[in-house]
Structure 1
Amino acid sequence: MSLPGLRAGTGLTILSWLLRLAFLGSPPLVGWIADQTSLRVGLTLVPVFGVLVIVLAGVMAKRVVRTQEPASA
């Protein structure tokens, strides 16, 4: 899927950086949640959020891309 005004390489770079940030930010977030509540709650949230991502990805996959028809002269 492409976005208007955004090259494929640029989109891939942005996605790559977002994944790196999530990779580096997730463990401290889980640790903070575990400190505030318990380790069981902190580690239970990881698969819960994973399932949430899968469900939301299904919603995004159902989008229909409409093409513009050429204008008649």
Structure 2
Amino acid sequence: MEYVGFVKPGGYDQVVFRGDVAAREFIAFWLKDDRVLAGMNVNIWDVIEPIEELIRARTPVDPRALADPDQPLDHLPR
């Protein structure tokens, strides 16, 4: 498990999951106004850099695309 970013309790308006939460293979994203504030990957590796890029970009992303594992993290619709 890896976590990157920072979000205060209540400082987000949604959590988006990508992957299989029940199988404990997923990425969780904390968003505010469709902007990624933080991310946590669980048993999915080599994704911390794209998550950091989403956080640093501070641009809105489509939450449906963020949840879709077929959408590469570094090419999400904005």
Give the TM-score normalised by structure 2: 0.25
Q: Which structure exhibits the higher relative contact order, with contacts defined as CA atoms closer than 8 Å and separated by 6 or more residues?
A: 2
Flag the structure with larger Rg. Answer: 1
Name the structure where strand makes up a greater proportion of residues.
2
Higher helix share: 1
